[in-house]
Chains A and B, each alone.
Chain A
Amino acid sequence: MTTTAAHAPADGDHEETGPPQGAEEHGPDAFERDVLPAPPHASRTLLRSLLAPYRARVWLTAAVLLVQQAAVQAGPLLVAYALDRAVPALRAGERGPLIAVAVTAALCAALSGGLQFAFIGLSARVSQDVLRDLRGRIFGHGQALSLDFHERYTSGRLISRATTDVESLRELLDEGLQELIVIVLQTLYITATLLWLDVGLGAAAVVSAGPLYLLVRSFQRRSRRVYGAKSTATASFIVKFTETMNGIRPVKAFRRERPNDAAFARLNHRHERINGDAILEMARYVVSSRLVANVAVAALVLWGAYRVAVGGLALGVLAAAVLYLRRLYDPIDRLGMFLNSYEAAAASLEKIAGLLAQRPTVPEPAAPRALPAAAAGRPGREVEFDGVRFAYRTGGEVLPRFGLTLAAGTTTAVVGSTGAGKSTLAKLLARFYDPTEGRILLDGVDLRELSTAELRRGVVMVTQEAFLFSGTVADNIALGRPDASREEIERAAKAIGAHDFIAALPDGYDTDVRKRGGRISAGQRQLVGFARALLADPSVLILDEATSSLDIPGERAVQRAMDTVLRGRTAVIIAHRLSTVETADRVLVMSAGRIVEDGPPAELATGHGHFARLHRAWRESVG
């Protein structure tokens, strides 16, 4: 696995839109500690629900293993039979028992090999199906969860849920569980056989399991602690490492190398110490369990040999017991390793269960409604905020109750300082959030009643972050409308003024954005984002600070595209730049969650409000 948990995004701005200064959103809550609340036994319930569809195959697999282990463990019994029966029989000239031994041994060998083969195939099928289900569930769930969740649950965590945590469960399924079942079966079979061979020896073996059980328990307890500490120590150096590599420019520019070395050395040494503790913990366990096992074997052999010597036990039984005893104590080391991988998987499963227990706050409607057919020549739709109020679930009110109607086909600019609630307004309209009270209507239909597909035909939002997905530039534009032809893609790029730079890339539209030569600047990425929106051709377009990295020609190209390609659409523009605002039909000035000014830009500019002041300052700067 080359992927890592503490993945940090290459494209910076994903946490951009976190609620500004929303102190009530932070503090050491469940999100920060990375422990999402999950109902009790959630991880066990999850595991059971994952295995449920494959119940029949799980049982079949178990049955195969049951027989296979029986065949494997028959060996020493055959030795006993050979020594105690076949040898005297042969001496008496009778070959029957030996032939029986030969046939049975061959059969057991064939069974153990053949069933081993069958078992691996069967169990792999179950475990792969389970993992595929689980990956799908995590992915689908992550996609379905609302934006407010993503804003709090860092991307790195979600990625590690779907990768490293699934991987540790896979280790448990592929190795651990099978290992555990084999160990249990082996122990049961051997103990039963020993008891059957000789009650005394068997009982003594059972007794010796007592101290071993205590050892295992104590190891489990201690290793849980030390491995917990280890994973915390690992996580902390990983964060430091990733952060340094992702921020290598500021690190170098501000000469942080040496302070970083020192800070990293501190974290690394803590990890080293705990790592050493963990290795020693394992050593302690292996040694003490081996000691108990060796003493038990010696004592049992001694006792058995003594009884053979005094004539209370057959020689073959002793031989079989000796062979069995060695096998009996053999898996103790492996049990220790299993416990470690079990701990890791249990922790992962719990985190996954916590994630899956989150419910999307913006659910799809059960019975979606369709938008009314658009009137001919009127591609835009009317937007109405009807008694809308928005507050975070934790209580901080962002938008007090308000009403607002945006006429179809008009362009509305929203200005105001950071934290005024502009982005929240936009996100409500895009249904990234649902309002706490009231409703938002698109041509009279509540957004909550629209299916995702219908909603996105209606409303598309272009944000400041211009993330490019891996693939070609053309693929990235086509995200706006996957069935678009190459001509349509190029037309969209030309309309937005992105065609020239795309054509200049090494492979033009087919340039892979993640490969060499694909150095695409922030402004260019935003243009690609716009081309996407043009292609999607929605009735309502929201631009949330989507021109921040564009230069003025880029901004003008966007405006031209709005005037031509997107003519007649209802548009909401949140912009820092008054140049964008000037062309709007209407300007809303927001402050502290309220709309404080509302009117055509020319009218507001001549007044005495916020907008007029800003506008004058801007005019002066343009000269």
Chain B
Amino acid sequence: MVRLTLASVAPTANAQTTSGQTSTDPTPAPAADPAPLPAAAAAAPRHSAVRSLLRLWPFVRPVRARLFTAAFVAVVASCLGLVIPLVLKWLVDGPVAVRDPGEVWLGGGCLLLLGVAEAGLFGLRRWLVARPLASVEAAMREALYHHLQRLPVAFHDRWASGQLLSRATTDLTLLRLFLAFPLTFLLVNGTTIVVGCVLLMVQRWSLGLVLLGPLLPLMVMCSVLESRYALAARRAQDQLGDLTTVVEESVLGIRIIKGFGRHRSQARAFERLTRQIRTTELHKARLLAWIWGVITLLPELAIATALVLGTLQVADGALSPGTLVAFLSTALALRWPVDSIGFLLAMSNEAATATDRYFEVLDVPAVDDEGAAGGNGVRNGPANGTADAGEAGEAGEAGEAPDAADTCERERPVDGLRFEGVEFSYPDAPADGPPTLRGVDLHIRSGETMALVGATGSGKTTLTALVPRLYDPTAGRITLDGRDLATLEREEARALVSVAFEEPTLFSATVADNVLMAHPGAPAPSGATDSQEADLLRALEVAQADGFVRALPQGTTTQVGEQGLSLSGGQRQRLALARAVVGRPRFLILDDPLSALDVHTEALVEAALRRVLATTTALVVAHRPSTVLLADRVALLSGGRITAVGTHHELLRDNAEYAALMSGEPGRQDREDAR
């Protein structure tokens, strides 16, 4: 029998290679690799496949009873299949040879019974595992999603969402398939092969040896070819990744490509990559052809030899015809279990890689621990080291800050937002480079609006990201109304602080859901309450979004985002602004909130926003005078420090750098250019 599925061979390849490696010392998997390719794991020595797969146990545990029962049922079913040739032998040598039609019926009955039992048991096996396996897959996916939402933003900076998604989809499907097939069938087929070999040897050891003879050379040749195949497969995967990148960019950057008429050079790059892929794939196919050629040839030769020898023995009377039939029939029955071992091992290895990839993410410690009881901040600060530094700094602090563990909010002085010696560098920044922020001291009084001005790339956005604890400072501390941010639950800090980001992200939901997601009464996925409705309208008015929202096909219940209506940049920015102000937050962070608005709308938004800002402690990143004028005072961020604080006019008069930033007249930067 020929099995032509290339897929079933392809994995055979990595299987035996990597199973060869499993005996080597387990070394820790490179956990921090930002973009690990699935095959890359095969390159470096890693945990043994078995150890990786054992990590699945906590997820498998709930369904273990069914899984084990199913495996047992499969072993029984498979052994029943081996009895069939014996019945044939009895039939041929017994009733058929002695010409006893009556006995033939008995044999036929046995065959029928065995067949029905075999089919039934295999059905039972599949039925036993179907739902449990789907639930294991779902549980793992849910755990991954849950965990990912609680990983630091710095983690998400490093990992492309596609990499994470492939773990939630392809890898988990692989794991389910592993539990469904290789896990069971390695056991089942192993048993079948051993039992089958014993049956062959017992019946006629000389013929048995002839049939089992090619096993060893087969395995040696295949492992040699397959190690080379694994290399080619990895190369193909890398090249496919490159190709995907070109495709993605050609779509995402289509306006630039068209704007510069560069589609031909894109097409050339694409063409070059597809040619490379073809070469690699053909190389793979050649190796595969060898593997399959050998896998087909050797057993066929063995069976041919066994047939010739068997015929001689039957002619001599040394062997009964029934035994020969049973023999060849058993050999046939063993063909699949033997062939399959390779790809079952391969699937197991892939599953081990998938497990590693899965746990590579799940093992990253989460930062957003929510108090399980939901109580307010009894924890002594977060678990990660960076924040501990902040706390250590607090211990030496003399000043007016009261005990931060105190939770009586009402009696707290309204102190506003303070940055004290805040330093920050991104975790992936070069170690020798200067930190992005090196000692920021800034006090925004309660109810005050502070504009944050600085040259492009000076770290304004970075500074704002520290307030809702998207990142934690590497040194120094930030206080909200006197309470050290590091001692607040992230959840709690974020309830106090509301942000409008530079990139206005809308989710696939209605306009109302998108805006109200920051509302204290949220979540209310289906239908907003009356107070929410009122707040929604107020927020939309502040952001001057009420007009265009009303004009949308279904008003505030219009679906927007990737799966809905696509809005212009200005419209998205206004919705993001509405989202930031809807919950009347104590602290408001606006990152260049008006950049995409036209002058006319900008003026209207400013007017409305002023009313909101009058009562809110706010930090507003500003690029131009019109935005700065929203603020009571301005802070200038330069070289990672706040170098000046004052009103717009003071700074414009006294600070050359600020004047340069606001007026564009030659300032510091240009003088440097001139040097």
Contact = CB atoms under 8 A, between A and B. Distances in A.
A522 interface: yes
B4 A305 contact: no
Interface stretch (B51-59, B189-197, B269-277, B384-392): B269-277
Interface string B424-461: 00101110010000000000000000000001110001
A298 B148 CA distance: 55
Interface in A274-298: 275-276, 279-280, 282-284, 286-287, 290-291, 293-295, 297-298
Contacts of B247: 139, 158-159, 162-163
B329 interface: yes
B598 A326 contact: no
B499 interface: yes
Nearest to B454: A551
Interface in A115-136: 116-121, 124-125, 128-129, 131-132, 135-136
B91 A11 contact: no
A349 interface: no
Interface string B451-494: 00001110001000100101000000000000000000011001
Interface string A462-490: 11110101100000000110100000000
Interface stretch (A207-215, A402-410, A415-423): A415-423
A253 to B, nearest CB: 5
A204 to B, nearest CB: 14
Contact of B505 (A112, A234, A250, A310): A250
A283 B595 contact: no
Contacts of B561: 243
A318 B518 CA distance: 78
A322 B88 contact: yes
B285 A521 contact: no
Interface stretch (B22-30, B248-256, B534-542): B248-256
A534 to B, nearest CB: 12
B170 A455 contact: no
Given A2-B170, A3-B241, 17 more contacts: A2-B166, A3-B240, A20-B571, A82-B310, A120-B6, A179-B5, A268-B138, A279-B180, A286-B122, A294-B115, A432-B259, A452-B261, A463-B255, A463-B256, A521-B456, A552-B663, A554-B456
29 contacts: A2-B163, A2-B170, A23-B553, A82-B310, A113-B297, A116-B297, A124-B288, A132-B274, A132-B277, A142-B250, A143-B250, A147-B254, A244-B148, A245-B156, A263-B525, A280-B127, A286-B123, A297-B111, A297-B115, A308-B96, A309-B99, A453-B261, A479-B260, A480-B260, A524-B457, A545-B596, A548-B569, A549-B623, A551-B456
B200 to A, nearest CB: 16
Contacts of A101: 307-308, 311
A411 B502 CA distance: 30
Q: Chain A's interface: helix, strand, loop or mixed, by majority?
A: helix
B68 interface: no
Given A90-B315, A306-B101, A623-B649, A287 B120 contact: yes
A309 B99 CA distance: 4
A487 B380 CA distance: 57
Interface stretch (A35-43, A149-157, A221-229, A377-385): A149-157
Nearest to A535: B260
B552 to A, nearest CB: 7
Contacts, number: 596
A394 interface: no
Contacts of A4: 162, 165-166, 169
B165 A246 contact: no
A501 B88 CA distance: 83
B183 to A, nearest CB: 15
Contact of B495 (A150, A243, A255): A255
Q: Chain B's interface: helix, strand, loop or mixed, by majority?
A: helix
Contact of A319 (B92, B426, B456, B468): B92
Contacts of A576: 596-599, 602
Interface string B92-114: 10011001110011011001101
Contacts of A14: 252, 254
A196 interface: no
Contacts of A119: 289
B2 A251 contact: no
B79 interface: no
Instruction: Among A72, A295, A308, A455, find the residue whose CB has the most chain B CB atoms closer than 10 A.
Output: A308
A564 to B, nearest CB: 14
5 shortest A-B CB distances, which residue pairs?
A: A294-B115, A113-B297, A302-B108, A456-B261, A124-B285
B108 A105 contact: no
A457 to B, nearest CB: 8
Given A139-B267, A299-B108, A551-B456, A174 B7 contact: yes
Nearest to A452: B261
A460 interface: yes
A393 interface: no
Nearest to A105: B304
Contact of B525 (A12, A108, A259): A259
A517 B293 CA distance: 50
A1 interface: yes
A512 interface: no
Contacts of B498: 253-254
B259 A462 contact: yes
Interface string B34-60: 100110000000000000000000000
B351 interface: no
A78 B91 CA distance: 21
B223 to A, nearest CB: 18
Nearest to B160: A10
Interface stretch (B129-137, B393-401, B610-618): B129-137
Contact of A310 (B5, B99, B321): B99
A27 B649 contact: no
A279 B252 contact: no
Given A72-B1, A113-B293, A555-B664, A253 B150 contact: no
Contacts of B37: 2
Interface in B1-34: 1-2, 4-7, 34
A264 B145 contact: yes
Nearest to A427: B255
Contact of B568 (A20, A87, A506): A20
A254 B123 contact: no
B75 interface: no
Interface in B308-330: 308, 310-312, 314-316, 321, 324-325, 328-329
A282 B96 contact: no
Contacts of B368: 252, 257
Instruction: Among A11, A330, A548, find the residue whose CB has the most chain B CB atoms closer than 10 A.
Output: A548
A241 B145 contact: yes
A249 B499 CA distance: 9
B627 to A, nearest CB: 9
Given A255-B491, A261-B149, A124 B456 contact: no
A368 interface: no
Given A116-B293, A456-B261, A461-B259, A553 B568 contact: no
A297 to B, nearest CB: 6
B548 interface: yes
A62 interface: no
A256 B308 contact: no
B65 interface: no
B212 interface: no
Contacts of A284: 123
A16 B569 contact: yes
Contact of B297 (A110, A254, A469, A552): A110
A282 B655 CA distance: 75
Contacts of A108: 300, 304
A467 B120 CA distance: 59
A508 interface: no
B661 A551 contact: yes
B562 A323 contact: no
A529 to B, nearest CB: 7
Contacts of B528: none
A159 B161 CA distance: 15
